[in-house]
Structure 1
Amino acid sequence: MYHFKEYSEAFMEYLQIEKNASQYTVKYYLNDLETFYQFSKSEALEDFSDVDYRSVRVFLTSLYDRKLSRRTVSRVISSLRSFYRFLEREGNVTSNPFLQITLPKATKPIPGFLYQEELEKLFEVNDMSDPLGQRNQAILETFYATGIRVSECHKLTLKDIDFTIGTMLIHGKGSKERYVPFGRFAEIALETYLNEGRKTLLEKSKLSTDTVFLNAKGTPLTARGIRLILTKMVEKASLTVHVHPHKLRHTFATHMLNEGADLRTVQELLGHESLSSTQIYTHVTKDQLRSVYMKAHPRANN
């Protein structure tokens, strides 16, 4: 394909500048484009305009032959559909052959979440007289109070937290920002850490940083460091479940909906663009289902 490098670079600029895509999104799109380019060379397709429905079907078969998951195949097709939409806009092709391809949607698994009893065990493991224990408690309370992502947590700065109205300014995906409230437990944990533990940690590095969460050396914690902290907390609590930051996000959303929060509110708190992304949390526990039934059905009780 004569113009592959030129077109792929232009597409990358389009994703970064116009679509404000993250570096990971751009990376996956370009990887998918490279996969299609290698296929096109093997099929002797000399230009992107030579691709038709038949060649796309052959490409699709080649993806399945590689034992790729349905989810991965769907992502590749979606990437190339967007690429051809870009080529159409630029006048490089007259049609988008990937529009004709429909893939059956894979069923989304119900996200795992923690029960209240499991959470209580986690909340009890940290030594609140120790700077690292104070930090860990603040991290845990922040995750459960706000449902933020680990990427959002490690970027949190002092000026993002407003204790006067109990809200945090969260810097989300694609440079999008949102305000999320937090409750009394998170407030106490954060104030304890900021007034005591963080100051002790900061003395070790002598850094001038406004990053909220610091490591044992007094420098900003990474997303990987936060995951490791959670893993150690789980070990201390002797929990048999695997806990990662996103499971706490799932837990936040599930508990909010189980207690009567409406879907639109949870969508806004999570920073989801689409309501369908939030709908995966509308499952309820069997206990909650029974509780609602017993309270609501006229003939459930004598």
Structure 2
Amino acid sequence: MAKRITKLQQLQAGQPESAAPSAGQAVCDEFLVYLKRECHLADNTVAAYGRDMKRFVGWMDGRRPATLTISDLSDFVASLHGEGLAPTSISRAIVAVRTFFKYLQLEGIAVDNPAELLATRKAWQRMPGVLSPTEVDLFLSAVKKSDTFWQRDRALLEVLYATGCRATEVCTLRIRDLAFDDRTLRCHGKGDKQRLVPIGGRAIQAIQLYLEESRQILSDRNPGQVDELFLSRGGKPLDRIQLWRLVKRYAKRAGIADEISPHSLRHSFATHLLAGGADLRQVQEMLGHASIQTTQIYTHVEHSRLQKIHRDFHPRA
């Protein structure tokens, strides 16, 4: 045990560039011994982990494991995709890295395990299509003044993309949830959990125009008192089905893929924030995710999109 800790500490302390690969391989070998002797894994499983760890150590290129962030590990997963590995191989490599960091924690070398936040390919592959910024512009511009209650529709679409709120959360927004001076709105999420979500100037302008010109007309069609912001043609709160139909209508007009749904605007919101350099935990808070592992999915979506751009446009891709 003492010998193993010494080598791990050497890796954490940093080595000259020429010594880093051997130190990395040493800790990898010790990790595999741990899997076999203490975890009692089968020889074939240990061998598979060995291949995964050899690839991981090579990718680290002398860096210390404890300095790696979730963003770094996402880059590692992206490199696996770049190698064209099968989905099952990528998932196993993620499990191997998670276990490796647990091992470092047991040895007292690493305090945190950022690999716990990695999502497997099976999770993020279910992610619906994400609109590009250009497609978002086309989509938001698809509402025309010739459309009945176009002010409502434009405000609705602007809010979906500006806040990343779920369809139900948008449908249940109330006028008193708006705080234009603070540029926020109060969102009622799952389990009636509330959160404040920032909202941009364009969305605020669209809401104000809707409140000034259309909402009262819709409200007068329903004798009952309605607090919800977005109303149907009958003056009742807009429901998810009606919202879904509106999104489909304007997506079709904009020439965007058929699979686009209200949730696609939420996915696009998160992906574009991360692509712009937003912190993962800040995005988690804005989306209202209980677990950051759910938010982590979007980093994989962004890597996948960037890889496609590289393949399509780089002359030597």
Measured against the shorter chain, the TM-score band is 0.5 to 0.7
Is the CA contact 1:143–1:245 (under 8 Å) kept in the aligned structure 2? yes
Cα distance in 2 between the residues matched to 1:210 and 1:267: 28
Pair 1:286-2:306 in alignment? yes
Unaligned 5+ runs, structure 1: 1-104, 295-302
Is the CA contact 2:171–2:238 (under 8 Å) kept in the aligned structure 1? yes
Give the secondary structure class of the aligned counterpart of 2:278.
coil
Give the secondary structure class of the aligned counterpart of 2:299.
coil
Cα distance in 1 between the residues matched to 2:219 and 2:258: 33
Number of the residue aligned with 2:262: 245
Cα distance in 2 between the residues matched to 1:288 and 1:164: 40
AA in 2 matched with 1:261: A
**Which moved further from structure 2: 232-241 or 210-219?**
232-241
Written as runs of structure 1 = structure 2, the 5 A alignment for 1:30-69 is none
AA in 1 matched with 2:244: R
Written as runs of structure 1 = structure 2, the 5 A alignment for 1:135-214 is 135-214=152-231
Cα distance in 1 between the residues matched to 2:211 and 2:308: 37
| 1:136-160 CA-partner distances (Å, limit 9, x unpaired) | 1111110101100111111110001
Q: State, as a whole percentage, how many aligned pairs show the same letter.
A: 38
Deviation at 1:224, TM superposition (A): 1.1
TM-score normalized with structure 1 length: 0.58
Give the secondary structure class of the aligned counterpart of 2:186.
strand
Cα distance in 1 between the residues matched to 2:164 and 2:285: 11
Structure 1 residues 192, 231: closer, same or farther in 2, change over 3 A?
same
Cα distance in 1 between the residues matched to 2:278 and 2:263: 20
Is the CA contact 2:230–2:238 (under 8 Å) kept in the aligned structure 1? yes
AA in 2 matched with 1:139: L
**Which moved further from structure 2: 265-274 or 112-121?**
112-121
Of residues 267, 280, 292, the one that matches 1:275 is 292
Pair 1:266-2:286 in alignment? no
Give the secondary structure class of the aligned counterpart of 1:267.
helix
Give the secondary structure class of the aligned counterpart of 1:148.
coil
CA RMSD for the aligned pairs?
2.1
Pair 1:107-2:129 in alignment? no
Deviation at 1:248, TM superposition (A): 0.8
Give the secondary structure class of the aligned counterpart of 1:108.
helix
Q: What is the number of residues matched between the two proteins? A: 187
Number of the residue aligned with 1:98: none
Cα distance in 1 between the residues matched to 2:147 and 2:224: 21
AA in 1 matched with 2:230: F
Give the secondary structure class of the aligned counterpart of 1:179.
strand
Cα distance in 2 between the residues matched to 1:217 and 1:141: 22
Structure 1 residues 203, 193: closer, same or farther in 2, change over 3 A?
same
AA in 1 matched with 2:216: K
Cα distance in 2 between the residues matched to 1:177 and 1:268: 11
